[in-house]
C-alpha cells in the first residue's frame, strides 16, 4: 500500500458510508409513506411470533445458531482494531487437507525460542522497505513466534526437502507487492541451501525470475496487481496522474501467457481495487469507483469490480485443464491504528494480539467475503475438471500479528533527526524475517501432501 492507495481506501470507506446513508434514507422514506401498513404488519408478526414461541420449545435453541449481525459501526474507521472477537473471520471452506484432515489455518502463535532460520544479514534478497533490523527497529521479540495449528503438528519449512520435491519444477507468485514480499521470504529460506541466481527482471524490478541450478528449480514473481488488464498511471511511489483503467473482461496476459508452463502458482490480489478506477467491458465504460464527476460514469464501487475480476479469474482456472497445483491466497488485513498510511496511522505493537483485541474492518471483510464466495464456486467446477485448486486462507494467521510490520522502519533510521520526526508507517507489508515466513510452513505441508 502507498500514499495513493491509502487515500483511495479512505475514499472507499466514504463511499461505503454514503451507500449506507442512502439505503437508510430510502428505508425511512418508505416507512413514512406506508406507516399504517407497517403498523398493521408489525402487530400481525408479533401475534404470530407469540404463537410460535408458545408452540415451539426449540425456538430459543435455533436463535443461538443464527449468524452474528454485521457490526458496521465498529468498523467504519479503517484499520482500527475491533474491541471484541465477534468479527473474527469464520473458517473458510476447502481448508481440510491430507489424510489427517488437519485445518492448517486455525491455530495460535506460540513462542519459538530458536527464532528464524535466516537473518537480515545472511539473506541478500530482502528489499530495503522490509529490512526492519537494518533500518533500526530496536525490538526483536516479533521474531520469536511460530504459527501452530490447533488440530495437528506443522513441521517447519525444510528448504532442502522442498528443493528435492521441486526438482525440475517451476513456481510463480502472481499478484501485487504482498506477493513480492512473500517471494523474498521464500528466497531467503531457499538460500540456506543454495543461493538462487536471478535470470530476469523487468524495467522496474517488479516482475523477476530466479533459478537454483543444482535442482533446476525456477521461481518467479509476476507483477499483476489486478489480475485483469489495467492501465495504471502512477509511479513507483504511488503518485497517480489519473484513474486506473480496468478492463474487467480481459485477464492480464502477464500471467495467462505463462500459465500453462507453471507447475505451481500462488495467485492473489486485493487492496489495489480500492484505487480510483474507470471500469471497461467490451471496450466501453460501464462504471467507476471514486472517479471524477466529469467522467459521467456510474459509481459502482470497488466490490463490483472485485467480484467481476475474481469470477473471471476463477472461471479461467477451473476450466483450464491445468495439471499442476494452483493456490489462491486470500488478501491480508493491515494493522493501521489511529489513522492511515498518509495521516499518522501506525502499528506500534511489539507482540502478537490476543483473541478479542483485533477483528476485520469493513473493507477487509468485503474483500474476504467475495474471495471465499468466488473460490467456493470455482473449486467445485475445478474438481469436476480435474484442476487442483487450493485455498491459502492466511487471514486468521496474519490478523493476530500487528507486531510484524515495518511501521516507521520501512526507512533507514527514521528517527535519526529526533523522536518527533514525521515518519510514514507501513502496516501492510511484513518485516523479514517475520510472520510471513510461517506462510511457507503451511504451503510446504500442502505440497508434501499433494505430492505423496
Buried b (16+ CB within 10 A) or exposed e, 436-450: bbbbbbbbbbbbeee
> What is the grid cell recorded at 39?
403498523
**Cα torsion 444, 395, 437, 142: sign:** negative
H helix runs in 34-148, sequence order:
35-55, 59-64
Round to whole Å and give the CA distance between 400 and 433. 17
Contact present, 278 and 246 (Cβ < 8 Å): yes
CA dihedral for 406, 410, 412, 414, sign (positive or negative): negative
Which of 379, 429, 437, 441 is labelled catalytic? 429
DSSP state of 148: E
Based on the number of CB atoms within 10 Å of its own CB, is 422 exposed (0-12), middle (13-18) or buried (19 or more)? exposed
**List 92, 177, 224, 331, catalytic entry:** 177
Exposed/middle/buried for 343, CB within 10 Å: 0-12, 13-18, 19+?
A: exposed
Question: Residue 285's closest CA among 253, 246, 229?
Answer: 246
Catalytic residue among 334, 426, 437, 441: 426
Residue 429 among the catalytic residues: yes
User: Which distant-in-sequence residues (6+ apart) come within 8 Å of 24 by Cβ?
Assistant: none
Whether 426 is a known active-site residue: answer yes
Contact in structure between 429 and 411 (CB atoms under 8 Å): no
CB 395 within 8 A of CB 355: no
Cell of 217: 528449480
* E-assigned strand segments in 31-144: 96-97, 102-103, 107-111
Give the catalytic positions in this structure.
177, 426, 429
Amino acid at each position: 500500500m502507498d500514499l495513493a492507495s491509502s487515500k483511495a481506501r479512505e475514499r472507499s470507506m466514504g463511499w461505503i458510508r454514503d451507500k449506507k446513508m442512502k439505503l437508510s434514507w430510502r428505508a425511512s422514506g418508505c416507512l413514512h409513506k406506508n406507516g399504517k401498513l407497517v403498523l398493521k404488519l408489525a402487530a400481525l408478526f408479533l401475534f404470530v411470533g407469540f404463537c410460535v414461541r408458545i408452540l415451539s420449545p426449540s425456538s430459543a435453541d435455533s436463535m443461538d445458531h443464527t449468524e452474528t449481525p454485521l457490526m458496521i459501526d465498529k468498523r467504519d474507521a479503517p484499520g482500527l482494531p475491533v474491541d471484541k472477537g465477534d468479527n473474527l473471520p469464520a473458517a473458510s471452506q476447502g481448508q481440510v487437507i491430507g489424510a489427517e484432515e488437519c485445518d492448517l489455518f486455525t491455530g495460535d502463535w506460540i513462542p519459538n525460542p530458536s527464532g528464524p532460520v535466516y537473518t537480515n544479514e545472511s539473506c541478500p534478497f530482502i528489499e530495503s522497505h522490509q529490512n526492519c533490523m537494518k533500518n533500526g527497529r530496536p525490538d526483536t521479540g516479533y521474531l520469536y513466534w511460530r504459527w501452530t495449528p490447533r488440530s495437528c503438528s506443522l513441521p517447519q519449512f525444510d528448504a532442502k526437502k522442498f528443493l528435492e520435491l521441486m526438482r525440475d519444477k517451476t513456481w510463480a507468485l502472481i499478484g501485487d507487492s504482498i506477493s513480492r514480499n512473500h517471494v523474498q521470504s521464500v528466497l531467503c529460506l531457499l538460500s540456506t541451501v543454495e543461493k538462487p541466481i536471478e535470470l530476469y527482471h523487468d524495467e522496474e524490478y517488479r516482475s523477476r525470475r530466479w533459478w537454483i541450478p543444482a535442482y533446476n528449480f525456477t521461481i518467479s514473481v509476476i507483477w499483476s496487481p489486478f489480475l485483469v488488464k489495467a492501465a495504471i498511471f502512477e509511479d513507483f511511489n504511488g503518485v497517480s496522474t489519473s484513474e486506473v483503467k480496468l478492463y474487467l473482461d480481459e485477464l492480464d496476459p502477464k500471467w495467462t501467457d505463462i500459465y500453462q508452463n507453471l507447475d505451481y502458482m500462488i495467485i492473489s490480489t486485493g487492496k489495489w481495487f480500492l484505487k480510483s478506477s474507470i471500469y471497461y467491458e467490451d471496450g466501453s465504460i460501464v462504471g467507476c469507483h471514486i472517479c471524477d464527476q466529469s467522467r459521467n460514469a456510474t459509481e459502482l464501487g470497488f466490490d463490483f469490480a472485485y467480484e467481476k475480476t475474481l469470477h473471471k479469474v476463477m472461471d479461467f482456472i477451473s476450466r483450464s485443464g491445468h495439471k499442476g497445483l494452483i493456490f489462491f491466497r486470500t488478501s491480508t488485513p493491515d494493522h493501521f491504528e489511529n489513522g492511515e498510511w498518509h495521516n499518522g496511522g501506525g502499528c506500534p505493537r511489539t507482540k502478537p494480539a490476543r483473541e478479542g483485541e483485533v477483528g476485520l474492518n469493513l473493507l477487509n471483510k468485503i474483500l474476504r467475503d467475495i474471495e471465499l464466495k468466488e473460490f467456493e464456486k470455482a473449486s467445485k467446477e475445478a474438481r469436476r475438471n480435474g484442476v487442483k485448486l487450493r485455498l491459502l486462507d492466511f487471514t486468521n494467521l496474519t490478523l493476530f500479528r500487528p507486531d510484524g510490520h515495518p511501521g516507521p522502519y520501512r526507512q533507514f533510521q527514521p528517527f535519526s533527526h529526533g523522536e518527533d520526526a514525521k515518519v510514514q508507517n507501513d502496516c501492510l507489508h511484513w518485516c523479514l524475517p517475520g510472520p510471513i515466513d510461517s506462510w511457507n510452513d503451511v504451503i510446504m505441508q500442502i505440497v508434501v501432501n499433494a505430492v505423496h
